Amino acid sequence: MTDQPPGPRPRTDAPDRRDPDPWADRYDEEAGPLVRLYAMTAGRARTDNGAERVDLMAIVRSTDATPRGPIPPEQRSLLAQCAQGPCPVADLASDSGLPLGVVRVLLGDLTAQGLIRITPPEYTAARKEPPSPHLLREVINGLRAL
């Protein structure tokens, strides 16, 4: 560490100076998140839309809607990942390095803003909605070919 003064690092990738990032001091490239987890969710473990119960295998998609205002950095990176294609909640949680509970709350916020859409997994209970034999055979053949 050099004798850099404490405080937010100068951001070279600031998207637009007229729209300052109110969360610029929440993340440091080397140190990672500078706030505790509950700050990211404003202390919430629950959401109004039930996002805290979203399945690990639920698929998250970006709606490509334009955000109405600045988005906190954690939501922004989740959104960036969804923009690359449909993504299960488990992948988003693992890639973000945040606990699942936090990711779920953040996904609930993004849904409420109309920025993402969450689809429940196709197979909600193995015995009730089993995947088709065709799909199972494809999985078997795919595993053999690995």
65: contact with another protein by CB under 8 A: no
> Are the CB atoms for 63 and 79 separated by under 8 Å?
no
Among residues 39, 65, 80, 139, the one that binds another protein under rule CB under 8 A: 139
Per CB under 8 A, the list member of 23, 27, 59, 77 interacting with another protein is 59
- Closest approach of another protein to the CB of residue 137, in Å: 7
Q: What is the DSSP letter of 65?
A: P
| Whole-number Å distance between alpha carbons of 5 and 28 | 13
Q: Give the H/E segment covering residue 117.
A: strand 116-119
Task: Convert residues 83-122 into a mask of x (bound to another protein by CB under 8 A) and - (unbound).
Answer: --xxxx-xx-xxx-xxxxxx----xx--x-----xxxxxx
